[in-house]
Amino acid sequence: MRIVVAGGAGFLGSHLCSALLAGGDHVVAVDNVSTGRHRNIAPLLDYPGFEFVQADITAAPVGVRGGVDAVANLASPASPPDYHRMPLETLAVGSRGTENTLQLAAQHGARYLLASTSEIYGDPLMHPQREDYWGNVNPIGPRSVYDEAKRYAEAVTMAHHRAYGDDVGIVRIFNTYGPRMRPADGRVVTSFITQALNGDPLTIYGDGSQTRSFCYVDDLVRGIDAMLRSMATGPVNLGNPREFTMLELAEQVLELTGSRSGIEFHPLPKDDPTRRRPDISRARDLLGWEPRIPLAEGLSRTIEYFRSQPVEVAAAARAVAGAQFEGGTVEPVHSVVV
């Protein structure tokens, strides 16, 4: 197939491009490189089946020429520091960007895949989270620019499906990690690894009892690819159902890096979810998908990648100290040595 990947220079997008090319597909990556990076797709430029279009999908029409068999929309800032820094751009890519890529797919009669997010569920009152749960989201809070952008993206995708019969699929992605993540992106795995390698205290928000479920990028991309080639509409949760507390994650990062860093506890950011774990029954039933790579193995691969980027990791030190808070760092409530 000839597949357009919006957000193709980003962390997830570039891994999806690599997997599609390896499977024999032709790929057109579209990205404005606001949070993506040219280096992510540099190894792909020599593939005869790969094209890169530097463009903003919020501007219509999307600048892709030639036939299109499928469109995978992964375009959006996805980490709190990024969408706090670009709130209006985040809302625009979730709304106009989704509308424009839907129109591109419709013009070609192409399959359309929307990469949505577990943030749809907000701070969930249901645990684990199933796709029929509507969520507990603050529509005007600091995280709302991302949460509501994705909720609208799902709504307009389903409206196109119902009104025009467009072939669409929606995946809700839970915490994913792996090589090509930016050390300064402010997400918990990258922040812990960066702090551990720099010998700085690991920053935990709250008391460390809040949970997340971490899916290695190779597993996640397998799920996206399966959804892209299916006839399922979804939404379908994609994530690892194994749940870890933030303290457990910090301790595992310290062990795998051999770091002597301590741990600092900071106040929990507003509207930060306290529990997050996907029910992946639908993914198993519809796609035959489930993750395979355990956390320790995935973290080891990611740490190895970060060790290969020492200058960037060192430069990220200040950015990841209190990175979840708008306006800079805050003083820790207390710290411990582990």
Sequential pLDDT tens for the chain (338 residues): 999 999 999 999 999 999 999 999 999 999 999 999 999 999 999 999 999 999 999 998 888 999 999 999 999 999 888 999 999 999 999 999 999 999 999 999 999 999 999 999 988 898 999 999 999 999 999 899 999 999 999 999 999 999 999 999 999 999 999 999 999 998 999 999 999 999 999 999 888 888 889 999 999 999 999 999 999 999 999 999 999 999 999 999 999 999 999 999 888 777 677 788 999 999 999 999 999 999 999 999 999 999 999 999 999 999 888 644 433 433 334 444 44
Q: What is the pLDDT of residue 326?
A: 39
Residue 325: per-residue pLDDT:
45
Is residue 146 part of the annotated active site? The answer reads yes
Phi–psi pair at 296, nearest 5 degrees? -60, -40
Chain-centre distance for alpha carbon 257: 24
Catalytic residue among 112, 146, 177, 205: 146
Identify the bridge partners of residue 111 per DSSP, sorted by sequence position. 70
Predicted TM-score (pTM) of the model is 0.92
Residue with tokens 């355990």: 294
What is the rounded distance in angstroms from the CA atom of residue 320 to the CA atom of residue 90? 21
